[in-house]
Amino acid sequence: MTITAAVDFDAVLQRLGDDTELLLDIIGIFLEVTPPTVERLGCAVHDTDFATAVELAHELKGASANLGAVELRRQANLLEMSARQRLTGQVAEHLVLLQQEFARVVADLECYRSNLMSRR
């Protein structure tokens, strides 16, 4: 089994014109904005509030795309689709996978940011 990186930094940097300062800013924004989103998503799923789950999963999908977090984006999309169809069991399963992937993305981003800043 191959374990791939949670974030495709090369692709993001290419989109940002190899601007590492801009990437650091975006990483900071992502780490500030998305943890509460994931937390609220967990509450919405727990409460079977499908409308809020759709909205929050959609938000996370967009945020993940900006940072090249491909698998997180995929999980958010799956959760959004399941919530749209009100499939309680699938929504709960996707939430677990999404939370695991989110933790991987956050770890990758923090590690990358730390490495970049230590080189300054």
Partner 1 sequence: MRTAGNTDAGVGSDLKLLLVDDNQVNCRLVELLVQRRGWQCTAVNDGQAGLGAWRSGAFDLILMDVRMPIMDGLEATRRIRVEEVSRGGHVPIVALTANVESEDLAACLAAGMDAVLCKPIHQEEFYRVCLAATGKNG
Rounded to 5 degrees, what are φ and ψ at 110? -65, -40
- Contact status: 49 vs partner 1 (CB under 8 A): no
Asked if residue 37 lies in contact with residue 56, where contact means CB atoms within 8 angstroms, the answer is yes
Binding segment for partner 1 (CB under 8 A), chosen from 11-19, 40-48, 81-89, 106-114, is 11-19
Determine which residue in the list 5, 9, 15, 104 makes contact with partner 1, applying CB under 8 A. Answer: 15
Asked if residue 5 lies in contact with residue 104, where contact means CB atoms within 8 angstroms, the answer is no
Residue whose entry in the numeric block shows the structure tokens 């959004």: 80
- Which residues in this chain contact partner 1 in the complex, by CB under 8 A? 15-17, 19, 22, 25-26, 29-30, 33-34, 55, 58-59, 61-63, 65-68
